[in-house]
Each structure stands twice: as C-alpha cells, then as structure tokens.
C-alpha cells in the first residue's frame, strides 16, 4: 500500500475533548473519528487493527470449539420482557419504536436472542453442548461515554454463549474459553491479568475478568505479588494487616457528649484514639428495607459485597431524612446500641472485638465500651471490606498490591437464569424436560485495541504490538531519486509478496515529516531508503520499540530479516 493512495491524515494537535492517550493517539493517527458522544467511525487504519484482532479472536474461538453466527442488532421487546430485563436494564438500554409503534431495542448484549434461537432449534440432550459466538456492534447508552473506544456507546464486542446439559459440561466449555481468552491476550502481546470477578447484574455462579494493566484503567485490581491471587476490588478478599480493635475485658457502656462530631475523625480525635478503634455505622436502603452496616472506622465498605451477602437486588445509601424512621437516631450519631429493630451486618474484622466506640442514636452523643451480646444483639458477621493496598492475601498472607486495569474480557457461568425465564429446555435421557445450563463470554474488540495503545506508546506516538498493528512495516523514502523510488518499490513488492502488511510513504515530503508520522502511527518496523546509503547499496531499518538500534543491510537481506522477525512475532513461524 502506498501512503498517497491511502486514507490517512495525521494531526499535530491532541483533540481538545480527549482524556486518555489511546483516544488522543487514535484520533491524531487517523484511526478513529468521533461522530457523536461515544460513537465513532473506524477509519481505514483503525479498522485494520480491529480486523486483525478479530481474526485472532476468530481463530481462538474456533479452536475452542465455538461456532460463529451473527445475530440482529435490533431486537423486539418481547424477548426482553420474557427474560425480565426489559424492566431491569435501565437507561443503558436504547429503546426504539418502529412505524407500527412496536417496541424494539438496539442490543447491548444478546442473551435473549441466542436463548430464543437455541430453544427453537434444540430439544434433545443429544444436540448439546453448543457454543455459539458472534463479533458484532452493540449499543449501550452509557451515562458517561468517554475514553474513545474504551467506553463508547456503539462498540464492537465478541460475545459467545454456550448451552449444556450439566454443570460438568459447562465447566469444560468455561475452561476452554478461559484458555482461549488467555491465548488471545498473549498473542496480542498484552500485559494482562485474569481475575476473579463479581457476577454483577448478569447473575450466575463463577466469573472471571481479563484486565489489561494500564494507569488509565477504570477498575482497581488487587493482586498478590507472591501467589497467583488476583481479583477485582469489587470482589477481592483480604485481611486487614494491623489489629485495630482489641478484645480486652469489656468496660462499662458509657455515654460521652460529642457535640457536632459527626465524622469518625472528629470523634477519634476528641477521644484521643485511632480511627480504627471507632466503629463506623453506615445506613443503606435496599429493596428489602433499610440495613445497618458496621465496619472499622478507618476502612470503607464494599457495597457490592453488602448487596451480594444480603441477597438484596439493590443497595444505596440511606438519605438523612430517613434515619430517624429506620434506626431512631440522627445521621452522624447512629449505632447498634439502642437502635430500632433493624438488620445489622458487621464486617468480619469486628468479630470477637470489645469496647466499641459507636454512635448513641442521640444527637451529639456516642458510646464507649459498647460490647456485643451485653449492650446489643450480635450482628451478622460477613466480609464487607473494600480491600486496599497492603491488606493480606487470604491464600498466602502476603501484602497485596492494587493496580489499575482495563476490563477487556469477562466470562461467566450463567446457569439457568435465562433458560428458565425463557423456557429454553431439552429432553434428558429419561425424557424429562430440563432447563439448559448456560455460559456467556464477552470480549471488547475496540476496547482491547485501545488498551494496547494505553500500554504501548511514548511521547512520539503508538508502539503497536506486531499482531494488531494496522501495517507491520513502513518504508520511508528520503528524496525522490529514481534509484530510491525503484528500490523502495522493490522492497515493498517483496514484502507484500511474503504476506507482510507494508505501507510505503511515497509522498513528496521531507523525511523528517515522514518519520514523525511513522512514529505517530506506530508502525513496528521502519525501513528507510535514502540516496546516501543506497550509494553503497544499503538501506536502513529500525524497530519502533527501539529506535536507537539502527540496522543496515542490502535490501534483500533486510527483507529476509524483517519477514522472519514479523512471522515470529505473529506466532506463524
Ligand atoms: P464495564 O464494567 O466496563 O461497563 P461490562 O461489565 O458492562 O463492562 P460486559 O457486559 O461484560 O461489560 O461486556 C463484555 C465486554 O465488552 C467487556 O469486558 C468490555 O471489554 C466490553 N465493553 C463493555 N462495555 C463497553 C463500552 N461501553 N465500550 C467498549 N467496550 C465495552
Ligand atoms: Mg457496563
């Protein structure tokens, strides 16, 4: 391909509305163009990277036994009403009407469609298992579309769904998909981790996320540097390293005046103790009524754990005006002693401790010496701790680290949630009707490409991993000499004949301009053909990743070396 024939125009300036580096560089390198918030055109260079990732994904899906199909983007409301998600999904679901005033949606995901396809096509255990996937455009009306392709509204996802007669069969498919995901991200040369994840709204029993490590990541990942434990902090478990509250003999319950001291810090300071000695009381509203959650004063509650443990559908902070009705005390001064009857969940670290400092359910008052069993009923103890840096790994006791990650893939064991709701059943060997057991497996295509840039760039531009680079080699001609141009054309044709994706910057521009553009777009290999080296029969080549190491050689030698190197990086040699 010649630059002059291609559709590429680079920009010197960062776009004013870009927050992250991948968005800036993809825009400046003319890979994407924004049309509206979270809605982008994939320009030719961007589309090439997307297609490359898609072919890696296809190869690995096929290898794992999944079969490709393509489902409609527009889906009728009826199947969403059947699954119940028509009522649950909220504003991310783009609802549309056709000319007959019938309700449709633009698919944010495809559990309903695939379940309706499979229930109509399969009825016997003999036809199972199946695993079906597609690579397709989704729409989610995200509250804050941002970060370019990382959180778009319209975006490309690979989604796969498997159907089984037993948990064992689901386990096999799940393992095969997990391995396939690991191969995909390894083949893209990304620094990523697979972590335990919360199953969120989709529901189900087991789930793993794949995160590309990058400072701009929206997720916090707890990782044990010693053993292999890793988990999204939404789910991560750990032990607080220092003791905090003790288990000394119980002192008498004593009321202390704490005028205007609504915060843990104020109370701790006033009493001359560490914040870890004060028990923090949080009040939540849930679909099952208000609940009280207790935790050490220096730590935060993980609301997702509260929701999962309590078995509620939703959990939000209780508003101040509802405190009185819920506990019988004012906000800032509530606690378990003397509270109205209410469900109380305490973080497991409080179990067995004594002499709590808590709110007294009276304005401007706290208790010291509050003790479980004597002063108030024992709460339910559960892990509701939001894990942070330094907490100890439950597996090996090592202090954990927290890193930022970009979620690029998410796999779930769904179970029978959709098959039950939508009557997707099979006849088992005994002729009994059973709901199919499902798994689902998502991978963000655009997000993965963008995350590769978040991880691989420098001040001059993108540094593509070879397997997903839009072009692998850039030939830069310095000057327009006949000899320079014929040599460049010959190198170009030989590389192309060898199956290498090569672009020749044949523009009549200064070499400096071409080098800058080559660096910005991030071609992994650059071959420079200039009159001076050519006088000795040589051309120069270098790697984008290591620009200082310049190599020189005869055109044919260079072609052979570059082909070998690229084939190795692609994993095809
Ligand atoms: P997030 O928590 O980031 O919103 P999610 O849990 O909603 O993600 P899934 O429903 O599991 O995501 O979707 C599967 C994959 O699709 C994700 O792992 C991610 O790579 C990709 N994805 C999800 N939402 C977006 C988006 N708005 N833009 C780009 N990719 C997305
Ligand atoms: Mg989401």
Domain CATH code at residue 201 = 3.30.930.10
Residues, the chain, total? 573
Cα-to-centroid distance, 444 and ligand 1 (Å): 6
**Same-domain check for residues 97 and 210:** yes
**Same-domain check for residues 275 and 160:** no
Cα-to-centroid distance, 226 and ligand 1 (Å): 29
**Same-domain check for residues 364 and 411:** no
**Same-domain check for residues 179 and 113:** yes
**Same-domain check for residues 77 and 223:** yes
**Same-domain check for residues 221 and 83:** yes
* Residue 246: predicted pLDDT: 81
Residue 394, in any domain of the structure: no
Residue 247, in any domain of the structure: no
Q: Determine the atom of ligand 1 nearest the C-alpha atom of 200.
A: 6
Residue 343, in any domain of the structure: yes
Distances in Å between the Cα of 314 and the Cα atoms of 200, 201, 565 are: 11, 10, 53
Which residue stretches of the chain have pLDDT < 50? 201-203
Domain CATH code at residue 542 = 3.40.50.800
From the CA of 146, the nearest ligand is 1
Element (H, E) at 270: helix 264-271
- For ligand 1, residues with CB inside 6 Å are 109, 140, 142, 151-152, 155, 157, 407-410, 442, 444, 446-447
Domain CATH code at residue 349 = 3.90.960.10
* Residue 465: predicted pLDDT: 96
Spatial separation of the C-alpha atoms in residues 422 and 434, rounded to whole Å = 12
Dihedral angle of Cα 518, 519, 523, 527, to the nearest 10 degrees = 60
pTM exceeds 0.75, yes or no: yes
* Residue 202: predicted pLDDT: 45
**In angstroms, how far is the first alpha carbon of the chain from the final one?**
24
Residue ending a domain, choose from 350, 382, 414:
382
**Same-domain check for residues 494 and 443:** no
**Same-domain check for residues 202 and 84:** yes
Residue 242, in any domain of the structure: no
Spatial separation of the C-alpha atoms in residues 472 and 139, rounded to whole Å = 31
Whether residue 477 contacts residue 485, with contact meaning beta carbons closer than 8 Å, is answered with yes
Residue 498, in any domain of the structure: yes
- Residue 20 domain boundaries: 15-237+402-453
* Residue 200: predicted pLDDT: 56
Beta bridge partners of 278: 357
Cα-to-centroid distance, 341 and ligand 2 (Å): 36
Beta bridge partners of 376: 372
Residue 461, in any domain of the structure: no
Whether residue 400 contacts residue 224, with contact meaning beta carbons closer than 8 Å, is answered with yes
Q: Determine the atom of ligand 1 nearest the C-alpha atom of 108.
A: 10
Residue 391, in any domain of the structure: no
Spatial separation of the C-alpha atoms in residues 421 and 112, rounded to whole Å = 10
**Same-domain check for residues 233 and 265:** no
**Same-domain check for residues 265 and 314:** yes
**Same-domain check for residues 277 and 412:** no
Residue 9, in any domain of the structure: no
Cα-to-centroid distance, 128 and ligand 1 (Å): 28
**Same-domain check for residues 188 and 304:** no
Q: Determine the atom of ligand 1 nearest the C-alpha atom of 409.
A: 18
Residue ending a domain, choose from 394, 423, 453:
453
Per the structure, how many domains does the chain have? 3
């Amino acid at each position: 391909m010649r630059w002059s024939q291609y559709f590429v125009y680079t920009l010197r300036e960062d776009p004013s509305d870009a927050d992250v580096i991948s968005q800036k560089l993809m825009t400046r390198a003319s890979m994407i163009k924004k049309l509206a918030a979270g809605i982008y055109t994939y320009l030719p260079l961007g589309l090439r990277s997307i297609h490359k990732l898609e072919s890696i994904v296809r190869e690995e899906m096929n290898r794992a036994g999944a079969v490709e199909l393509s489902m409609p983007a527009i889906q009728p409301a009826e199947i969403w009403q059947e699954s119940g998600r028509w009522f649950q999904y909220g504003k991310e679901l783009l609802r549309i009407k056709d000319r007959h005033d019938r309700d449709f949606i633009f698919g944010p995901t495809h559990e309903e469609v695939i379940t309706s396809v499979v229930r109509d096509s399969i009825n016997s255990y003999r036809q199972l298992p199946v695993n079906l996937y597609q690579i397709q455009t989704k729409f989610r009306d995200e509250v804050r579309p941002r970060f370019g392709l990382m959180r778009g509204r319209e975006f490309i996802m690979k989604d796969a769904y498997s159907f089984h007669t037993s948990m064992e069969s689901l386990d096999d498919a799940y393992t095969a998909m997990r391995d396939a995901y690991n191969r995909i991200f390894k083949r893209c040369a990304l620094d990523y981790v697979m972590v335990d994840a919360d199953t969120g709204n989709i529901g189900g029993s087991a789930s793993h996320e794949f995160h590309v490590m990058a400072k701009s990541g929206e997720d916090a990942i707890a990782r044990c540097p010693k053993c292999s434990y890793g988990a999204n902090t939404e789910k991560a478990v750990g032990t607080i390293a220092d003791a905090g509250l003790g288990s000394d003999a119980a002192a008498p319950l004593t009321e202390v005046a704490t005028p205007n001291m609504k915060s843990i810090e104020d109370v701790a300071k006033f009493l001359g103790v560490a914040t870890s000695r004060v028990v923090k009381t949080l009040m939540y509203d849930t679909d099952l009524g208000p609940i009280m959650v207790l935790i050490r004063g220096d730590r935060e509650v993980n609301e997702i754990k509260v929701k999962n443990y309590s078995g509620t559908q939703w959990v939000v902070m209780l508003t101040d005006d509802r405190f009185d009705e819920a506990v019988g005390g004012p906000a800032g001064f509530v606690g378990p002693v003397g509270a109205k009857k209410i469900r109380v969940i305490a973080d497991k670290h409080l179990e067995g401790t004594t002499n709590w400092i808590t709110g007294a359910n009276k304005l401007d008052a706290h208790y010291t010496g509050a003790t479980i069993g004597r002063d108030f009923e024992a709460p339910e103890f559960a892990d509701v701790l939001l894990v942070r840096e330094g907490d100890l790994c439950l597996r090996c006791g090592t202090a954990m680290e927290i890193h930022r990650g970009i979620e690029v893939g998410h796999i779930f064991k769904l179970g029978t949630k959709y098959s039950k709701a939508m009557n997707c059943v099979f006849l088992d060997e005994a002729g009994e009707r059973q709901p199919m057991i499902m798994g689902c497996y998502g991978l963000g295509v655009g997000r993965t490409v963008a995350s590769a840039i978040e991880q691989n760039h420098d001040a001059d531009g993108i540094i593509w991993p070879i397997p997903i680079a839009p072009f692998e080699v850039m030939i830069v001609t310095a000057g327009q000499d006949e000899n320079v141009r014929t040599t460049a054309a010959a190198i170009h044709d030989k590389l192309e004949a060898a199956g290498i994706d090569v672009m020749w910057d044949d523009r009549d521009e200064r070499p400096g301009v071409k080098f800058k553009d080559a660096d910005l777009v991030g071609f992994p290999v650059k071959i420079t053909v200039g009159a001076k080296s050519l006088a000795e029969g040589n051309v120069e080549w270098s790697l984008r990743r290591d620009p200082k190491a310049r190599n020189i050689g005869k055109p044919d030698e260079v072609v052979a070396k570059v082909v070998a190197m690229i084939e190795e990086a692609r994993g095809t040699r």
